[in-house]
Amino acid sequence: MALAFLAESMVSVRRLEEFLLLDELKSFKAKELSFDSKGLITNGVGKEKQSEKAKPNPTGLTLTNISASWSKNAIVETLRNITLNVKPGEFVGVAGLVGSGKSSLLQLILGELEASHGTVSLGGARISYASQEPWLFVATVRQNILFGLPYDRVRYKKVVSACALLRDFELLPAGDATLVGERGISLSGGQRARIGLARACYRQADLYLLDDPLSAVDTHVGKHLISECVTGLLQNTTRILVTHQLHHLKGADSVVILRNGEIETQGTFEEVSRSPLFKELLEEDEQPEAEGHTQLLRQRSMSIQSHTSVNSTVAEYGNENEEEPEETAELMEKGRVSGSVYLKYFRAGGGWALLTLTLVSILLAQAVTSISDLWLTHWMNDVEAKHLRFEDEKFSANYTSTNNETNVFNETTEPLMLYDATTDPTSPTTMNPNLTVIGTTVKAALTIQNITAGQEPLEHSYYIYIWASAILGCILLTTKRSLLFLWICMRSSIKLHNVMFSNILAATMRFFDTNPSGRILNRFSKDMGIVDEILPRMFLESMQVVMVMLGILVMVAIVNPYMLLTTAVCGVFMYLWTVIYLGSAQAMKRVEGVSRSPVFSHVSASMAGLTTVRASNAEEMLRKQFDDKQDVHTAAWYLTLTANTAFSIWLSLISAVYVITVAYSFLLLDNGTTKSGNVGLALSQGLILVNMVQYGIKMATEVISQMTSVERVMQFTSLPQEQTAGPAPPPGWPQRARLVFKDLYLRYDMESEPVLKNLNIVIESGWKVGVVGRTGAGKSSLISALFRLAPIDGHVYIDDVDTGKIALKELRSKIAIIPQEPVLFSASLRYNMDPFDKYTDADIWQALEQVEMKQSVTSLSAPVAAGGANFSAGQRQLLCLARAALCAQPPARARRGHRQRRPQKSIRKHFAKCTVITVAHRLHTVADSDRVIVMEAGQIMESGHPHELLQKSDGYFTSMVKQLGPASEQSLRELASNAYAQHIKYVDADEQAQS
């Protein structure tokens, strides 16, 4: 066992060594303000210290002939020959096609991407960074904005106002004190983006790097962010803004256009507008056809949105008496582990017949072991009797050998007592129950050898044959017992893991809202690790020890029945002490398991936002938070160890009393008839029992404590499940994809108000429908209702089939979604495109070509990093778009076409016969839709063709369009009018065909 532990330790040390020897980041950023490590814990309340008043002189940025690549072996570098000079206080816009290197340019400035050639000069600038994919952690909205900095009431108000968050605070249940779920799961995409931007703006810096914060917000909010934040609040600082919406860059001092990692052109907005690439980008930005690509890519993900109420009030800034909101506590059982947990654990490993066979093997193995020991005792007693008769005969023949007899008996007992004396009762963990038979055998052999030395040979074959048969049976039964038991434990582990995993996959979305990833990882890593590796070994050892203890007690009782009284008394004391210990040990083990989850969550969240953490110089703050969470877990673990040690000490004391009693019982109760073999057996077994009792009880209590891991795993085998059962839809369903939402209500929590209220919508087959509205209006919840991600009241019909009554798998397999946050797996590109292997390579290449990703992919077998990290955000979205296009129609219908100038034209052609629902942020996106649905507070305010809605001077849609400005309003009205004319022709043609 020690060698096995040593080998495992060497592997762990080697892995740690490889990790510690990895190249470290070479950062050339200047360090900012020092962090307050308790900022996130205290929410900044009561820390209204003034921010640094003194600012350093404005600092610019200079990049000289920079080349860089994310991979050392890359054939083509990510950035090539980049030369850029940004003067202090300038506003620089960066634009370009998908995958052109815009985000990589910001990563280079942050120091995350190492330059292979050229120089970067920041002049000691303090940097603040807003990432393209906002990183939020489990804390309040205010804590996410402050990010460890002291709370400055005045600046905080300015920042949240400039980032258009005031109205969101009114909608959130507790204002800016609302608890944000892991990765901001309880917020919409726009809210997450603006909170991330507010965090960057709250930080006093010289250089602000803003990576496309406008992509997740509508046009009105985007204009507000540009005017009030980028060119307002930050007007005296150096700003670099990456965006696809070029009309926001008209006020920029300089614009940089990238193509394939190189600067295509740079200069003022008027100067770069002469570039053909800029004209192409600008045309796509203004035309609805170009925005079709964006609208498909910018659909919101299906995360559960926050359950807000219009009547909610914003938290009062700086309220020092507000209570800290708490995350939903992890479920923790109380009391002893239920007997049903043990039963379910073993029943998962086999049926009653297998369990019965294993139990019989355990009992037979111990019975044969005890019989072999008893037979050795019987053999030794017979030899001693023959020896005494032999001595009597010699004595009567006047041959005296008293000295030899004394030596013989001394030599007989010394090996016996020497072996027992070398047994260390203080080291129960080194005890091996299998040594009992071996030790007794050696002692008996030495005894027999000494007694018969130099005397008449005695016939021992009878004894040897029976003893050898018993030993052979012991070996066979012990091996069978161990194999059967470990096989049952292995099957139990596999089944529990598979059932838990299946339950996780089928769990309701509410479960993921209330349980951070750390809790789930804790169950699958640590708890399953205990069930897989530690529990079977402890179960087997404790079972062996208990069987040996029972065998020893039986043999001791046969030799000296009076010892049963002492054994019973000591057993009562041990039982009482064990009961006292287990009550605390199981509770401490549960606390240790629960306190481990925050450590997992913290590490997972920190790794996900590592770029933001480094850019904000928050490493020390997060390290302090990690230490705090780890200290809580270590305290629980230390308490477990100390309690175990105290328990072992008391067991040792009780065992010592038992051994002393056994030893003196022979002196006090001996009537002269006790045989030496029996005395030796009783003493040796009693000494072994000392170690066995300690080791056995310790192992048994450890098994009971570790069963809390089985208990925690089983908690995840009975999670609330989605209603997946149901009849199959008709063959070929859906054929027309006509959608009807009737009297629809949706709520994510049964105790909260519905987020969709009495929706009644009819979407005809093939319609392209746009859903617009402010943040929290319920747009994404409409998609959630379609996919049955949350319980609904009412009905959703597709081709007159109630989707709530059919099998969930059949429903979701007929609907494709292109999320705003793309989902890619750590596997090959082909697996990500076609996980069920339904399409040929030619079909996949065709889909990639349709979204203009063919040139960016070298092979379908190329690996995709976790989360698609080896692709840019835009490329990840295009891959998801290609995947949806691939599944939109059968492979036989896919036809090879010429390369389109813009991927959105191919997309419109590919989805021409599909019903499409687009959750849009930009109104130009839905200007040519067949229908527009305007939502507010979970209700439909108005719906119709965009042109028809624009005829209502006081309509909701009209008021939203007017906020775009005269030029954009006129452009959108013309687009809607042209689309309406085409729509009328289509309707007339369809009516004529039907007639």
**632 & 696 share domain:** yes
62 falls within a domain:
yes
**918 & 974 share domain:** yes
- pLDDT for 874 equals 77
CB atoms under 10 Å from CB of 644, counted, come to 16
Q: Is the CB of residue 308 less than 8 Å from the CB of residue 173?
A: yes
Structure confidence at residue 908 as a pLDDT band (50, 70, 90) = low
More confident call, 987 vs 583: 583
720 falls within a domain:
no
pLDDT in tens, 279-335: 666 655 544 333 333 333 333 333 223 333 323 333 444 444 445 555 566 666 676
- Residues 909 and 464: their CA atoms lie apart, in Å, by 90
Place of tokens 């809580």: 632
Residue 579 scores a pLDDT above 50 = yes
Q: Is the CB of residue 879 less than 8 Å from the CB of residue 833?
A: yes
Average pLDDT over residues 876-894: 66
438 falls within a domain:
yes
More confident call, 750 vs 223: 223
- Residues 784 and 476: their CA atoms lie apart, in Å, by 60
**753 & 699 share domain:** no
Average pLDDT over residues 347-374: 81
pLDDT in tens, 922-973: 787 788 888 899 988 888 889 889 888 888 888 888 888 887 767 778 878 8
pLDDT averaged over every residue in the chain: 75
**How many domains in the chain?**
3
**652 & 746 share domain:** no
- pLDDT for 279 equals 66
- Count H helices, E strands: the chain? 33, 19
Structure confidence at residue 680 as a pLDDT band (50, 70, 90) = low
Beta bridge partners of 932: 770, 944
Residue 146 scores a pLDDT above 80 = yes
More confident call, 582 vs 278: 582
Residue 182 scores a pLDDT above 70 = yes
pLDDT in tens, 515-574: 877 788 888 888 898 888 888 888 888 877 777 777 777 766 776 676 677 777 877 888
3-state secondary structure of 67: strand
42 falls within a domain:
yes
**469 & 422 share domain:** yes
**122 & 185 share domain:** yes
- pLDDT for 282 equals 60
Nearest C-alpha neighbor of 136 from the set 63, 89, 191 = 191
Whether the bond into 288 is cis, omega within 30 of 0: no
- Which of 297, 321, 351 finishes a domain? 297
More confident call, 516 vs 901: 516
Q: What is the pTM of this model?
A: 0.67
DSSP letter string, 672-714: S---HHHHHHHHHHHHHHHHHHHHHHHHHHHHHHHHHHHHHHH
Torsion of CA 635, 636, 641, 643, to 10 degrees: 110
DSSP letter string, 931-978: EEEEEETTEEEEEE-HHHHHT-TT-HHHHHHHTT-HHHHHHHHHHHHH
CB atoms under 10 Å from CB of 863, counted, come to 11
- pLDDT for 627 equals 92
Residue 431 scores a pLDDT above 80 = no
- pLDDT for 669 equals 65
CATH code for position 129: 3.40.50.300
**254 & 348 share domain:** no
Beta-carbon contacts of residue 82 (< 8 Å; ≥ 6 apart): 63, 65, 66, 67, 105, 108, 118, 262, 263
**376 & 289 share domain:** no
As given in the structure block, the two tokens for residue 154 are: 């005045």
**559 & 610 share domain:** yes
- CA 175 from centre of chain: 28
Q: Is the CB of residue 143 less than 8 Å from the CB of residue 39?
A: yes
114 falls within a domain:
yes
CATH code for position 688: 1.20.1560.10
Structure confidence at residue 420 as a pLDDT band (50, 70, 90) = very low
More confident call, 376 vs 685: 376
- Which of 279, 297, 315 finishes a domain? 297
- Residues 413 and 171: their CA atoms lie apart, in Å, by 88
3-state per-residue secondary structure call for 746-794? ECCCCCCCCCEEEEEEEECCCCEEEEEECCCCCHHHHHHHHHCCCCEEE
Average pLDDT over residues 857-881: 82
- What is the extent of the structural domain holding 797? 739-994
More confident call, 276 vs 425: 276
**875 & 834 share domain:** yes
259 falls within a domain:
yes
Lowest model confidence (mean pLDDT) among 25-34, 168-177, 522-531: 25-34
pLDDT in tens, 814-854: 887 777 677 888 888 888 888 888 888 888 888 888 787 88
* Phi and psi torsions of 677, nearest 5°: -65, -40
602 falls within a domain:
yes
875 falls within a domain:
yes
pLDDT in tens, 794-819: 899 998 888 888 888 888 888 877 77
* Phi and psi torsions of 717, nearest 5°: -95, 0
H or E element, residue 917: strand 916-919
- pLDDT for 674 equals 60
**634 & 486 share domain:** yes
C-alpha distance from residue 897 to each of 498, 819, 834, 850, 857 (Å): 45, 26, 21, 8, 19
**763 & 661 share domain:** no
